[in-house]
């Protein structure tokens, strides 16, 4: 597979025959497209195995041509990815894709342990501040004041604690080579996120450590807003709590 620039239309690796299952206004489809572009630019799709978690990101591998996939149990993608990466060796490229309920709630143990163990995998963390698939319940990333079926009065520190900042937390691990938080709600941010995904894949192939890309995403039904208002939700609310940026970009620790 040769690396080339994409200008218009669907990326070559985007499987347009797969019927979209995302809700109107959801950003997950854009993130999957972004990953398809990143994989095309790096040319590693045919040795990539995507391990997706349980949630709306579950079937993402189907949208990307050439990659093989495995749907892990809820929260366990980093453990499954470790098994695959270590079994196949450094030439393989392993990408995990998990939502915020999957990674930062039930799967916190697995992601922290994978970072501590210096696993050479790339983790995509799709943060839409709620459990989208199950009906918009409160997640560890939910914002203070956010009304959900399990925080009907709005999330308060006493009720559900403070939002977890994963990208900042992951930057604190020696085993993590790269930690970034981006979004896909504007062209500029889409391109930044794509570049971050490419950097993440490069860090993995160079053996520098675990690479972590958090992507803020709108979930209009979960946040009770109309599809187009998802852009504003990311810009005004999610970005106010979760600042965008690169939190770590390092070589293999000495």
Partner 1 sequence: MNPDRILATGNDAIGYGAIAAGCRFFCGYPITPQNEIPAFFAAELPKVGGIFVQTESEISSINMLLGAVCTGMRAITSTSSPGYSLMQEGMSCIHAMQLPAVVVNVQRGGPGSGSIATAQTDYLFVTKSAGHGGMKSLVLAPNSVQECHDLIQLAFYLADKYRILVVFLPDAITGQSAEMLEKRTLEFPPLPPKNWALRGSAAKKGSRLIVDSFMPFNYSSYFPMIRKKIEQIEKEEVRFEERLTEDAEVLVISWGSSSRTALEAVTEAREEGIKAGLFRPITLFPFPKEAMRAAAAKVKKVLVVEDNQGQMLYDVEWALGCSVPISFLGIEKRDQPSGMGLLYPGPILEELRRLSQ
List of residues contacting partner 1 (CB under 8 A): 45-49, 51, 58, 61-62, 66-73, 76, 79-88, 92-93, 109-110, 112-113, 117
Please name every residue paired with 212 in a beta bridge, in sequence order, or none if there are none. Answer: 123, 179
**Closest separation in Å from C-beta 39 to partner 1:** 12
Would you say 75 or 220 has its CB closer to partner 1? 75
Q: Quick check: 13 and 65 in contact, CB under 8 A?
A: yes
Which of helix, strand or coil describes residue 14?
strand
In the complex with partner 1, the residue whose CB is nearer, 210 or 231, is: 210
Query: In terms of CB distance, is 90 or 243 closer to partner 1?
Result: 90
CB of 152 to partner 1, least distance (A): 30
Half-sphere exposure of 122 (CA within 13 A, CB side): 27
Nearest CB to partner 1, comparing residues 55 and 222 = 55
Indicate the residue among 50 and 138 with the shorter CB distance to partner 1: 50
Cβ–Cβ under 8 Å, residues 212 and 125: yes
Task: Mention every residue, 6+ apart, whose C-beta is less than 8 A from residue 159.
Answer: 151, 153
- Residue among 43, 32, 201, 28 nearest 100 (CA): 28
Q: Tokens 């930057």 — which residue? A: 171
Q: How far is the CB of 54 from partner 1 (least distance, A)?
A: 8
As measured in angstroms, the least distance from the Cβ of 233 to partner 1 is 29
Nearer to partner 1, 38 or 61 (CB): 61
In the complex, the smallest distance separating the C-beta of residue 164 from partner 1, rounded to whole angstroms, is: 18
> Measured from the CB of residue 21, what is the shortest distance to partner 1 in angstroms?
12
DSSP labels, 189-217: HHHHHHHHHHHHHHHHHHT--EEEEEEE-
Q: Which residues lie closer than 8 Å to 71 by C-beta, 6 or more apart?
A: 51, 52, 53, 54, 58, 59, 61
Q: Between 39 and 171, name the residue whose CB sits nearer to partner 1.
A: 39
Residue ranges of the alpha helices (H) in 43-186? 77-88, 100-101, 108-116, 157-160, 166-171
Alpha-carbon distance of 77 to 117, in angstroms, equals 15
Report residue 122 as tokens: 């790339």
Smallest gap, in angstroms, from Cβ of residue 117 to partner 1?
A: 8
């Amino acid at each position: 597979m040769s690396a080339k620039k994409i200008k218009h239309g669907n990326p070559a690796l985007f499987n347009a025959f797969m019927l979209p299952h995302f809700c109107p206004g959801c950003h997950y489809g854009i993130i999957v497209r972004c990953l398809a572009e990143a994989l095309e630019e790096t040319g590693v799709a045919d040795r990539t195995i995507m391990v997706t978690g349980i949630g709306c990101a579950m079937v993402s591998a189907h949208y990307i041509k050439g990659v093989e996939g495995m749907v892990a149990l809820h929260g366990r993608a980093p453990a499954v990815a470790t098994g695959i990466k270590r079994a196949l060796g450094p030439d393989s490229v392993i990408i995990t894709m998990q939502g915020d309920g999957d990674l930062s709630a039930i799967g916190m143990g697995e992601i922290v342990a994978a970072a501590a163990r210096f696993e050479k995998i790339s983790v995509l963390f799709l943060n839409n501040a709620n459990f989208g698939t199950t009906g918009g319940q409160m997640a560890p990333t939910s914002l203070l004041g956010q009304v959900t079926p399990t925080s009907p009065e709005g999330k308060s520190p006493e009720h559900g604690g403070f939002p977890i900042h994963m990208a900042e937390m992951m930057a604190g691990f020696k085993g993590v080579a790269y930690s970034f938080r981006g979004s896909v709600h504007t062209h500029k941010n889409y391109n930044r996120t794509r570049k971050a995904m490419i950097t993440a894949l490069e860090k993995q192939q160079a053996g520098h450590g675990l690479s972590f890309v958090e992507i803020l995403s709108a979930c209009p039904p979960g946040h009770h807003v109309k599809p187009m208002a998802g852009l504003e939700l990311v810009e005004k609310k999610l970005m106010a709590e979760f600042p965008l940026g690169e939190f770590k970009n390092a070589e293999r620790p000495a």
